[in-house]
Structure 1
Amino acid sequence: MPVIEKGSLVLISGPSGYLGAHCAEELLKHGFRVRGTVRSQDKGEYLVDLFEKYGRDKFEYVIVEDVEAPGAFDKAIKGVDAFLHTASPFHFNAPDPYKDLINPAVNGTLNALKSAKSEPSVKRVVITASFACIVEPKDPGTYVFTEKDWNEYSPKQVEEHGKDAEASQSYRASKTLAERAAWKFVEEEKPQFDITTIQPPLIFGPVIHQVPSPDKLNTSVNNFYQFLVGNKSAEDAQNGFGSYVDVRDVAKIHVESLLNDHAGNQRFLVATTDSSYQPLLDTYFNNASDDLKSAFPKAQQGKPGNSKPKANTIDTSKAQKTFNWKPIAEKDTVIDMVESLAKYQKERWSK
């Protein structure tokens, strides 16, 4: 029996973001009613229009301007049965790691859980964590990461170096400390709900959220977009980024976590492969139609055929077994992503 029955009302934070928009759509596809928290009416109305095909009464939004504010989700949580908390900063522009990344991530997560505890109907909270909560420096090709691992390295880097810490370590620390805070909350407060945390690495795939200009693209997709418009070189294409996963797969696992009784109080790694940008570029150039290629005449091919960098392994057998998950093929991830970018470029950004 599902933990959350289809037709129930689910709250989602961050539905105006890259992953959040896909999570909201996946909820609607599964027959849930959805309430999203957004920072402005403009973002909310964009989503109302985007999801109109599922029924005008199936999606609604509440404005929450600051997820760090005490009681930020108290109004939005009323009457809901589950909460998908996807809102958390993902960027490397953090002059102050605590102010710009760690505090928003930790306080936003704790506010979500405190509000959920105040609403007796909430049975499960699913939190978007990150592979950043797990990964630590290891010699390439020597280690298999699982859900039992925790990133102790990044928080120590921030403790030791403060504002001089590497931006990537500040981001990883923010995700790690936020997830740590969530599990501590459940242990100490013993709420009426359980939690599930999802650990994706870099996320690619089609864009459906509001992106008024290319510079507003989310970090991961923007990294690939820069190759399409000729702003990154062949050398950049050889840089390994560890692993990636399709945004639609991550959204699916979030929603399946509401339906699967065995997902409660569990962490799930979701990833597909170890890679650099070169194999993704090869996939694009080998499979894109001529019309799609013509949308990006300056696209950089990198150094076609170069092997993938040696990297450590991510064991995703737990997610595959629990949810009967079969990852989306790399070709579909890449081509669907580029097609969405071409559409945005033609219909929105050119204007």
Structure 2
Amino acid sequence: MATELILLTGGTGHVGYRTLIEALSKGYRVRAAVRSESKVAEIKAAKSTQQYLDKLSFVIVPNIEKDSVFDEAVKGVDYIVHIASPLARPSDDDEANIIQPAIRGTLSILRSALKEPSIKRVVITSSVAAVSPPEPRVYTADNVEPDPRGPYPHTFAAYAASKKLAYNRTRDFIAQENPHFRVINVMPTFVIGKNELATTPAAVNSGSNALAFTPLLGMHNLNGMPAATCHVDDVAYVHIASLDPKIQGNQNFGVNYDVNGIKWDDTIDIVKNHFPTAVEKGVFPLGGSQTSLPMPFDASKTENILGIKFKDFEEQVVSLAGHYIEVVAKA
């Protein structure tokens, strides 16, 4: 394994950086594809990176959507871990800023991978949104949904559509190209946990982590959010464990702590129990509430095949809240 090289995209994101460190800690060499030199500096400066600098290299890819942009980056690579994709951020044009970049970025790296015979496996960060059905029923990462059609009522709907479309185009690619490599799609629910590269309170309270902060910071979301979460450590583990040649290729791995769901408002009691001093100091105002909507996603296959026991919601919140306290103290 010491000589095996991973091309990894999205390494400055929440899931991406944790997966980068997971890969390095397991003995892989990593070539991180980043958009700019400032991203290189950000990764190099992080504490967890320091012991692995001799196994880490970088390639600048400013726009992952362009055809052939990864042709040089994939040369000599054994594996690809493709994590970079647009998040569910407000946009004046969801089709141009969320949906098409997700599709084009995925197809771009897959097409470049076709040109490099050394590549054995490509792991893609998808999402539970790629396979979630419109009706409330228990489903798995092997569910298949038809292509969605806009217009989309809100940003999250556009994000979910981008994931379904990117996944369906990946399936089409495999069927049409019959590539020499195998593809794994990793489908997490809302990812909760410490993001080491987040060094301000606002940065910590962003992305899917922001959902856990709603009750803690005294905010209210009575419309609710799907109550399905997973620990960022587990998501990183699944990405890298999926590279094992003993694991069958061309399959999907869901990541979700509990098919029955969690309760967002439980964050209040968790923080009270683990961080009473921070609560007394007002770091967490508490008093908020967020309705928990069902998302019965069964990811038990992943635990069985990869030999992992997903961390529970309490561990997820403790990881996130502990980091937030540290960052607030330095602000």
Q: Does the CA contact (< 8 Å) of 2:227 and 2:294 recur in 1?
A: yes
Post-superposition offset of 1:196: 0.2
Query: Matches of 2:81 and 2:115 in 1, distance apart?
Result: 16
Q: Does the CA contact (< 8 Å) of 2:31 and 2:57 recur in 1?
A: yes
Residue 157 of structure 2 aligns with an amino acid whose one-letter code is Q
Post-superposition offset of 1:144: 1.1
Q: Does the CA contact (< 8 Å) of 1:9 and 1:35 recur in 2?
A: yes
**Matching residue of 2:59:** 62
Matched, 1:192 2:180: yes
Query: Matches of 1:199 and 1:127 in 2, distance apart?
Result: 9
Q: How many residues get paired?
A: 328
Q: Does the CA contact (< 8 Å) of 2:193 and 2:319 recur in 1?
A: yes
Query: Matches of 1:217 and 1:302 in 2, distance apart?
Result: 15
Post-superposition offset of 1:204: 0.2
Unaligned runs of 5+ residues in structure 2 are none
Query: Matches of 1:294 and 1:66 in 2, distance apart?
Result: 46
**Matching residue of 1:177:** 165
Q: 1:263 to 1:345 in 2, by over 3 A?
A: farther
Residue 156 of structure 1 aligns with an amino acid whose one-letter code is P
**Matching residue of 1:313:** 296
Query: What do you get for the CA RMSD once the two structures are aligned?
Result: 2.3
Query: Matches of 1:280 and 1:157 in 2, distance apart?
Result: 35
Matched, 1:297 2:263: no
Q: 1:171 to 1:11 in 2, by over 3 A?
A: same
Matched, 1:105 2:82: no
**Matching residue of 2:271:** 284
Alignment map for 1:183-222 (pairs within 5 Å): 183-211=171-199, 214=202, 218-222=206-210
Matched, 1:37 2:25: no
Which residue among 136, 141, 147 is the counterpart of 1:147?
141
**Matching residue of 2:236:** 251
Query: Matches of 1:41 and 1:296 in 2, distance apart?
Result: 38
- Match of 1:26, SS state, is helix
Query: Matches of 1:218 and 1:12 in 2, distance apart?
Result: 22
Q: Does the CA contact (< 8 Å) of 2:103 and 2:166 recur in 1?
A: yes
Deviations 1:16-53 (CA, angstroms, capped at 9, x unpaired):
00100010010011011111111121111121222443
Post-superposition offset of 1:225: 3.4
Q: Does the CA contact (< 8 Å) of 2:35 and 2:62 recur in 1?
A: yes
Q: 1:223 to 1:311 in 2, by over 3 A?
A: closer
Query: Matches of 1:120 and 1:296 in 2, distance apart?
Result: 56
Residue 230 of structure 2 aligns with an amino acid whose one-letter code is V
Query: Matches of 1:157 and 1:78 in 2, distance apart?
Result: 37
TM-score (norm 1): 0.86
- Match of 1:16, SS state, is coil
Q: Does the CA contact (< 8 Å) of 1:46 and 1:210 recur in 2?
A: no
Query: Matches of 2:283 and 2:200 in 1, distance apart?
Result: 22
Query: Matches of 2:12 and 2:280 in 1, distance apart?
Result: 30
Post-superposition offset of 1:75: 2.1
- Match of 1:261, SS state, is coil
- Match of 1:219, SS state, is coil
Unaligned runs of 5+ residues in structure 1 are none
Q: 1:92 to 1:310 in 2, by over 3 A?
A: closer
Post-superposition offset of 1:300: 1.6
- Match of 2:247, SS state, is helix
Q: 1:206 to 1:237 in 2, by over 3 A?
A: farther
Question: Larger deviation: 71-80 or 292-301?
Answer: 292-301
Post-superposition offset of 1:149: 1.4
Deviations 1:193-249 (CA, angstroms, capped at 9, x unpaired):
11000111111011112556615854211233354444x13xx27834230100110
Matched, 1:327 2:310: yes
- Match of 2:210, SS state, is helix
**Matching residue of 2:131:** 134
- Match of 1:156, SS state, is coil
Which residue among 20, 45, 55 is the counterpart of 1:49?
45
Residue 205 of structure 1 aligns with an amino acid whose one-letter code is G
**Matching residue of 1:342:** 325
Query: Matches of 1:108 and 1:300 in 2, distance apart?
Result: 40
Query: Matches of 1:237 and 1:59 in 2, distance apart?
Result: 45
Post-superposition offset of 1:85: 0.2
Alignment map for 1:110-129 (pairs within 5 Å): 110-129=107-126
Post-superposition offset of 1:15: 0.3
Residue 74 of structure 2 aligns with an amino acid whose one-letter code is I
Q: Does the CA contact (< 8 Å) of 1:132 and 1:151 recur in 2?
A: no
